[in-house]
Structure 1
Amino acid sequence: MDRAFLRRILRANLSDLAGHRRAEVLRSVPMWMDVLMRGALNGVGHFIDDMRDPTWRDVEVRAPIFVVAPPRSGTTLLFHMLAEDPRFAAVTLGRSMLRPASVLGFLSAMQQRPRMAGALAKVGEQIDAKMSSLDETHTLRLARLEEDESFFNDQFVAINVHLLGPSIHERTGGHVVLDDRPAKVRESTMAAYREFIQRFLHSVGPERTYLAKNVYSAGRLASLDAEFPDSRMINILRHPYQQIPSALELIRAVTKGAWGEIPAPADPFWKPMIDAVLDQHRRLLAWERKMPKQRWVTLRYDEVIADPAANVRRVYEHFGIPLAETHSWRLDEAAKDAGEFKKSRKYALEDFGLTKAEVRERLADVFAAYGWE
Structure 2
Amino acid sequence: MDSSGILSKRSWLVDAANRVLPAAWSAGMLPRPELDDALLLENARTKTGLSDFGDEWFRAPLKVLVAALREEADLNNLGRFGAAGQIAKMLRDRLWTQAWLSEQPEIGRRSLARPVFVVGPMRSGTTRLHRLLAADDRFAHMRMFEAIAPVPEPGRRPGRFDRRRLEARAILGAVHRFNPDTAIIHPTGPLQPEEELGLLVASFWGMKHEAQWNVPGYGAWSVGRDATPAYRHMALLLKLVGWMRGDDDRRPWVLKTPQHMLDLPALTKVFPDARIVFTHRDPQSVVASSSSLVWNQKIIHSDSVDPRTVGREWFDKTHLQIESMRAARRRIPESRRIDVNYEDVDADWQSVMRRIYRFLDMDMAPALPAMQAYVQRTHHSSRLKRHRYSLDAFGLDAGVVKDRFADYVEAFELGARPSPQPRPVRAVPGSTDWTPAAARSRIPARIAAARR
TM-score bin (small chain): 0.7 to 0.9
Cα distance change on mapping 1:259 and 1:14 into 2, 3 Å: closer
Residues 11 and 236 of structure 1: CA distance in aligned 2, closer, same or farther (over 3 Å)? closer
SS of the residue aligned with 1:234?
strand
Q: CA-to-partner distance for each residue in 1:2-41, whole Å, 9 max, x for gaps?
A: 322321233344445xxxx544476233232133134314
CA contact (8 A) 1:45 1:102 kept: no
Name 1:176's counterpart in structure 2.
222
Aligned to 2:134: 83
| Total equivalences in the alignment | 351
The within-5 A match list for 1:20-31 is: 22-24=74-76, 27-31=79-83
Normalised TM-score (structure 1): 0.83
Residue 365 of structure 1 pairs with residue 415 of structure 2: no
In the alignment, the residues of structure 2 paired with residue 23 and residue 332 of structure 1 have an alpha-carbon distance, to the nearest angstrom, of 43
Q: What residue number does 1:161 align with?
A: 209
Q: Report the TM-score, using the length of structure 2 for normalisation.
A: 0.69
Using the TM superposition, give the Cα deviation of residue 366 of structure 1 relative to its aligned residue in structure 2, in angstroms: 0.7
Is the CA contact 1:65–1:232 (under 8 Å) kept in the aligned structure 2?
yes
Q: What residue in structure 1 maps to residue 27 of structure 2?
A: none
- Aligned-residue offset at 1:60: 1.8
- Classify 1:175/1:335 alpha carbon distance in 2 versus 1 (closer, same or farther; 3 Å): farther
Partners of 2:236 and 2:354 in 1: CA distance: 30
Aligned to 1:3: 59
CA distance in 2, matches of 1:46, 1:332: 41
2:180 is the counterpart of 1:139: no
Is the partner of 1:208 in helix, strand or coil? coil
Q: Which residue of 1 aligns with 2:374?
A: 334
Instruction: Report the Cα offset of residue 331 of structure 1.
Output: 3.0
2-side partners of 1:299 and 1:321: how far apart?
A: 17
Deviation, structure 1 residue 223: 1.0
**Are 2:150 and 1:99 aligned?**
yes
Q: Give me the whole-angstrom Cα distance separating, in 2, the residues matched to 1:120 and 1:55.
A: 25
Aligned match of 1:241: 284
* Higher deviation after alignment, 325-334 or 234-243: 325-334
Identity %: 19
Structure 2 counterparts to residues 255-274 of structure 1, below 5 A: 255-260=298-303, 262-265=305-308, 267=309, 270-274=311-315
Alignment match, 2:198: 150
Match of 2:51 in 1: none
Give the counterpart letter for 1:209 in structure 2. Answer: P
Question: Structure 1 pair 259/317, CA: closer, same or farther in 2 (3 Å)?
Answer: same
- Report deviation, 1:172: 5.4
Q: Give how far 1:275 is off.
A: 0.9
Q: Residues 213 and 281 from structure 1, CA distance in 2 versus in 1: closer, same or farther, beyond 3 angstroms?
A: same
Deviating runs (4+, > 6 A) in structure 1? none
- Please give the root-mean-square deviation of Cα atoms over the aligned residues, in Å: 2.9
Q: How does 1:277-292 map to 2 (within 5 A)?
A: 277-292=318-333
Compare CA radii of gyration and give the structure with the larger one: 2
CA-CA distance at 1:211 after TM superposition: 1.0
Deviations 1:188-233 (A, max 9, x none): 2122122122222333221110111212220011111122121011
Structure 2: distance between partners of 1:328 and 1:15? 51
Q: List per-residue Cα deviations over 1:258-280 (Å, max 9, x = no partner).
A: 33561210x4x553332112222
Q: Which amino acid aligns with 2:173?
A: A
Work out whether residues 165 and 190 of structure 2, in 8 Å CA contact, stay in contact via their aligned partners in 1. Answer: no
Equivalent residue for 1:62, pick from 98, 104, 113: 113
Q: Residue 127 in 1 paired to residue 171 in 2?
A: yes
Residue 212 in structure 1 maps to residue 255 in structure 2: yes
Task: Give me the whole-angstrom Cα distance separating, in 1, the residues matched to 2:330 and 2:100.
Answer: 44
Pair 1:248–1:54, CA change in 2 (3 A): same
Q: Secondary structure at the match of 1:298?
A: strand
Please identify which structure carries the higher helix content: 1
Q: 1:362 to 1:196 in 2, by over 3 A?
A: same
Taking the aligned partners of 1:110 and 1:192, their CA distance within structure 2 comes to: 26
Which amino acid is 1:197 matched to?
A: L
Judging changes above 3 Å, is the alpha-carbon distance between structure 1 residues 195 and 41 closer, same or farther for their aligned structure 2 residues?
closer
Alignment-derived partner of residue 321 in structure 1: 362
Question: Partner residue of 1:36?
Answer: 88
> What are the superposed Cα offsets for residues 59-89 of structure 1, whole Å, 9 maximum, x if unpaired?
1211111111122222222111111222211
Query: Which range moves more in the overlay, 38-47 or 68-77?
Result: 38-47
Separation of aligned partners in 1, 2:101 and 2:131:
29
- Residue segments in structure 1 that go unaligned for 5+ positions in a row: 112-116
Aligned to 1:158, the other structure's residue is in SS state: coil
Pair 1:310-2:366 in alignment: no
Distance of 2:399 and 2:334 partners within structure 1: 32
Aligned amino acid, residue 339 of structure 2? T
CA spacing shift, 1:29–1:107, aligned 2, 3 Å: farther
Rounded to whole Å, the distance in 1 between the matches of 2:155 and 2:252 is 22
Change (3 A) 1:137 1:264: same
Q: What is the SS of the residue equivalent to 2:156? A: helix
* Per-residue deviation, 1:284: 3.0
8 Å CA contact retained: 2:112, 2:253: yes
Q: Work out the CA distance in 1 between the residues paired with 2:222 and 2:375.
A: 37
Which AA in structure 1 matches 2:185? T
